[in-house]
Amino acid sequence: MAHFGPIRLRLKNFKMSLSNFSRTRGSCLYALIDPAEPTQYRYIGKAKNPTKRFTRHIHEATTSSKNFHRVNWLRKVILEGRLPEMKVLAIFEDHEIAHMERRAIAAYRKAGHDLTNGTLGGDGCDPPTSETRARMSAAKKAAFARPDVKKRYSAALKAAHARPDVRAKLSAAKARPDVKERHSAAVKAAMARSDVKEMHSAAMKSAYANPDVRAKLSAALKVAHARPEVKERHRAAVKAAMARPDVKERHRAALKAALARPEVQIARLTRQLERLSCRVA
């Protein structure tokens, strides 16, 4: 951070040079530039007051720990001893600026400018570009590979789900037909992938190997199946599934595989002997 002091001193001169724009009606379309590459625009933005906007850019880069592409670029330029420059490209009416920002970002990107904009422009709420999505995905994967991040995330989720208002909102959202449909489609698409199936299978096996998990699941199933409507839905679902030839075939193959296991055969024989002993008694 040794270079940030001189940068802040030079920033005062910048504020004075743009003071006339601060009083201009409308909104400015501007570009941020590295003085070392004056012909390359690195960020396109809009501002009612470019002086304040530029100051926020510098403040964000020198004081925050944000990891955005724009912030990282600004930080790099400043640490190399240069003050990024702001070039006001045009002034538009407030109702035009969002549209013009979109057009400018698309045009300059097409012209070969390596922009650090994370969105397509406008109000900043557009879907992120493919490059931004890739960077976000990589950052999230790297973060969740850390045990401390996983632990904090898990603790936050548990704390949220312990709140009755959060559970009520989740329950209401899940009950919506459109949410159910989207969730069902997403699950089907995910489970169609062999890698997801393998991970799901491994996770289920690991969970069922835990006696506590088996006990909780058994208790939850008993409570659920004590309700007549749950019993009826389950019976109807089983009948519908078993009416399909592919399900029947898979069920038959699974039974044969299970009955071929020695421990299953011993368990069956033990139960038969117990029944016989009860009859004799």
* pLDDT (tens digit per residue) in 121-130: 766 555 566 7
Q: Is 118 inside a domain boundary?
A: yes
Say what the pLDDT of residue 87 is.
92
Using the predicted structure, report yes or no on whether residue 1 has a pLDDT greater than 50.
Answer: no
Say what the pLDDT of residue 178 is.
85
> How many Å apart are CA 8 and CA 11, to the nearest integer?
5
3-state DSSP of 119-153: CCCCCCCCCCCHHHHHHHHHHHHHHHCCHHHHHHH
> How many Å apart are CA 267 and CA 102, to the nearest integer?
70
Q: Is 192 inside a domain boundary?
A: no
Give phi and psi for 276, each to the nearest 5.
-65, -40
Report pLDDT digits (tens) over 147-176.
888 888 888 888 888 888 888 888 888 888
pTM for the model stands at 0.43
Q: Is 193 inside a domain boundary?
A: no
Using the predicted structure, report yes or no on whether residue 86 has a pLDDT greater than 90.
Answer: yes
Neighbours of 261 (CB within 10 A): 10
Adjacent-strand bridge partners of 86: 32
Burial 132-143 (b: 16+ CB within 10 A, else e): beebeeeeeeee
Q: How many CA atoms lie within 13 A of 185 on its CB side?
A: 6
The domain total for the chain is 1
Q: Is 130 inside a domain boundary?
A: yes
Say what the pLDDT of residue 126 is.
52
Say what the pLDDT of residue 281 is.
58
Arithmetic mean of pLDDT, 82-102: 89
Q: Indicate which CATH number applies to the domain containing 54.
A: 3.40.1440.10
Residue 49 near residue 55, CB atoms below 8 Å: no
Q: At what angle do helices 50-63 and 69-79 cross, to 10 degrees?
A: 80
Q: Which residues form the domain of 78?
A: 4-141
| Residue 38 CA: distances (Å) to CA of 53, 113, 210 | 20, 11, 62
Q: Is 191 inside a domain boundary?
A: no
Side chain identity, residue 103: R
Arithmetic mean of pLDDT, 59-82: 90
